[in-house]
Amino acid sequence: MPKTTRAEWLLALLTTPDRAAAILGDLEELAATRSRLWFWTAYLRTLVSFGWRTGGSAFILAFLCLRFMFRTILPWLMSHRTASLSDPGLFGENSPHARIVCWNLSMVTTQFLVFAFPFAWIRFGLRDRLTRLACTLFLISLPVYMLRPWVMDLSGLLTVLVLFAALIAPPWRRPLAILAATLFPAFVVKVTYLFFLPIHRYPHVFRMPASWVVVSDAIGFAIAAAVCVVLHRRLLRPRAVIV
For 190-208, the pLDDT digits (tens) are 666 655 554 545 455 445 5
What sign results for the dihedral spanned by CA atoms 238, 62, 57, 186?
negative
Helix (H, G, I), strand (E, B) or coil at 79: coil
Contact criterion met (CB below 8 Å) for 147 and 85: yes
Give 109 or 134, the one with higher predicted confidence. 134
- By three-state DSSP, how is residue 148 classified? coil
Question: Which of 121 and 101 is assigned the larger pLDDT?
Answer: 121
Report the Cα 29 to chain-centroid distance in Å.
38
Q: In angstroms, rounded to a whole number, what is the distance separating the alpha carbons of residues 209 and 48?
A: 32
Q: What is the pTM of this model?
A: 0.69
Give how far Cα 121 sits from Cα of 43, 210, 230, Å. Answer: 28, 27, 16
DSSP one-letter code for 201: T
- pLDDT for position 95: 65
In order of 55, 187, 231, the CA distances from 168 in angstroms are 30, 25, 20
pLDDT digits (tens, 9 = 90+) for 72-111: 888 888 887 776 666 655 565 666 677 787 878 888 888 8
Q: Is 56's pLDDT higher than 90?
A: no
pLDDT single digits (tens) 140-190: 999 888 888 888 888 888 998 999 999 999 999 999 999 999 888 777 766
CA-CA distance, 177 to 147, in Å (whole number)?
29
